[in-house]
Amino acid sequence: MNMEFNWLDMANRVIAGEEITDVEALVILNSKDDELLMLLHGAYQIRSHYFGNKVKLNMIINAKSGLCPENCGYCAQSSISNAPIDSYRMVNKDTLLKGAEQADKLNAGTYCIVASGRGPNRREMDTVVSAVEEIKEIYDLKVCACLGLLKSEQAERLKAAGVDRYNHNINTSREHHSEITTSHTYDDRVSTVKIANEAGISPCSGVIVGMKETKEDVIQMARSLKILDADSIPVNFLHAIDGTPLEGTHDLDPRYCLKVLALFRYINPTKEIRISGGREVNLRSLQPLGLYAANSIFIGDYLTTDGQESTKDHKMLEDLGFEIDYSNLPESLGETTV
């Protein structure tokens, strides 16, 4: 190991408030596999400093599936996908309430209502708003909405209903965005995250790794999210689905995925970093190690793919000696600039 890149020293500098350089970021992604445990040990020092041994659990409901006009190359629900998925319009309020009940039973602190499409129409907004108002009366859950591109008045309605967090991923770097989709711009995505934040909703934005991007792209993703000041950063690893343009893309291995998680922790030390879609198929038997860098996971199924059994996730946390984190979201949300 090159002693110039002592992982513990780098971690201590990050905890002291320094930012790692682009050279150091690239060293993380290019590090040898025999340095992996030392790299994770450094990432864990940062994670432990800010979050201890606690893990946030999040549960998704696929509230509207398919029928999307966008052309995102990774997505089974897009207009250019031939993937054999169930397609349906927005579910009713009772279904959203049952999902909240399930999230509560699984000890998920955050319930994520996710709908396909470019953005919500009035009927969809009415359904979500009505459901969230009732959910907040019944359950001690944080509610995250992910409904696509958002307008200011829609964000204000969601905030008034009790939505705590809004998710809209940047997905990839600005430079690589046009390789993934052309039906909306990178700035459209950034704008939605800003609109949610300006309405007083905690911003959540993340990425999908494994879409033929470069390592420099991955570094730029992590830095862009730092500038955007997303409170929660879901890191997805591509689960290539048959029938999508990225079908057959399998560029990831578990060790590289762990290096990516470590990178995001070094660059975004104080943020919730969530191991998200593709965790099971890409990290495989190394899933537990991911939580030495990340401090959050999804429990249950994803949008169009199955997740690990919830009992296995709870057992994984127990075996690691980690605890479920029920803490509140940040109380004050600042202005963001990109």
Q: What is the pLDDT of residues 200-235, one digit of tens each?
A: 999 999 999 999 999 999 999 999 999 999 999 999
Name the active-site residue from 47, 112, 146, 279.
112
pLDDT band for 75, please (50, 70, 90 cuts). confident
146 is catalytic: no
Helices (H), the chain: 7-15, 22-30, 36-51, 93-105, 122-138, 152-161, 177-180, 186-198, 215-228, 254-267, 279-283, 287-290, 310-320
Catalytic residue among 75, 189, 265, 279: 75
d(CA 285, CA 64) in angstroms, rounded, equals: 32
Instruction: Specify whether 75 is catalytic.
Output: yes
User: Is 257 a residue of the active site?
Assistant: no
Q: How far apart are the first and last CA of the chain?
A: 36
What was the pLDDT predicted at 337? 31
Q: For residue 302, what pLDDT is reported?
A: 59
Q: How far is it, in rounded angstroms, from Cα 97 to Cα 93?
A: 6
Which pLDDT tens digit goes with each residue over 4-37? Answer: 579 999 999 999 999 999 999 999 999 999 999 9
Identify the pLDDT of residue 163. Answer: 98
Residue 144: active-site member: yes
The length of the chain, given as a count of residues = 338
DSSP assignments along 175-242, one per residue:
TTHHHH-SSS-HHHHHHHHHHHHHTTPEEE--EEE-SS--HHHHHHHHHHHHHHT-SEEEEEE----T
pLDDT single digits (tens) 83-109: 877 888 999 999 999 999 999 999 999
**pLDDT in the model for residue 306:** 56
336 pLDDT above the threshold of 60:
no
Closest by Cα among 152, 144, 273, 278 to 221: 273
Report how far residue 319's alpha carbon sits from residue 246's, in angstroms, rounded to the nearest whole number.
35
In percent, how much of the chain has pLDDT > 70?
93
Q: Are 265 and 46 in contact (CB under 8 A)?
A: yes
Residue 327 has pLDDT above 80, yes or no: no
Please state the residue numbers annotated as binding site for [2Fe-2S] cluster. Answer: 112, 144, 204, 274
Q: In this structure, are residues 248 and 240 in contact, taking their beta carbons and an 8 Å threshold?
A: yes
Residue range 42-49: mean pLDDT, rounded: 98
Residue 153 has φ and ψ, to the nearest 5°, of -65, -30
- Residue 166 — pLDDT band, cuts 50, 70, 90? very high
| CATH architecture label of 3-10+19-324 | Alpha-Beta Barrel (3.20)
68-80 per-residue burial string, b: 16 or more CB within 10 A, e: under 16: bebbbbbbbbbee
Binding residues for [4Fe-4S] cluster: 68, 72, 75
Tell me whether residue 68 is one of the annotated catalytic residues: yes
Quickly state the pLDDT bin for 307 (edges 50, 70, 90). Answer: low
Instruction: Kindly name the residue from 47, 123, 144, 165 that is annotated as catalytic.
Output: 144
Alpha-carbon distances of 150 from 119, 121, 167, 194, 326, rounded to whole Å: 6, 10, 10, 10, 28
| Per annotation, catalytic residue among 68, 146, 265, 279 | 68
Q: Comparing 166-170, 180-184, 298-302, 314-318, which segment has the lowest mean pLDDT? A: 298-302
Our answer to whether residue 112 is catalytic in this structure is yes
User: Positive or negative, the Cα torsion across 299, 85, 158, 165?
Assistant: positive
Q: What is the pLDDT of residue 301?
A: 60
Cα 257 to Cα 278: distance, rounded to the nearest angstrom: 10
Active-site residue, from 122, 174, 274, 279? 274
Q: Which positions make up the binding site?
A: 68, 72, 75, 112, 144, 204, 274
Average the pLDDT over 272-299 and give the result. Answer: 96
Q: Could you write out the DSSP letters of every residue in 17-35?
A: T----HHHHHHHHH--GGG
Catalytic residue among 204, 257, 265, 279, which? 204
Say which of 47, 72, 146, 189 is annotated catalytic: 72
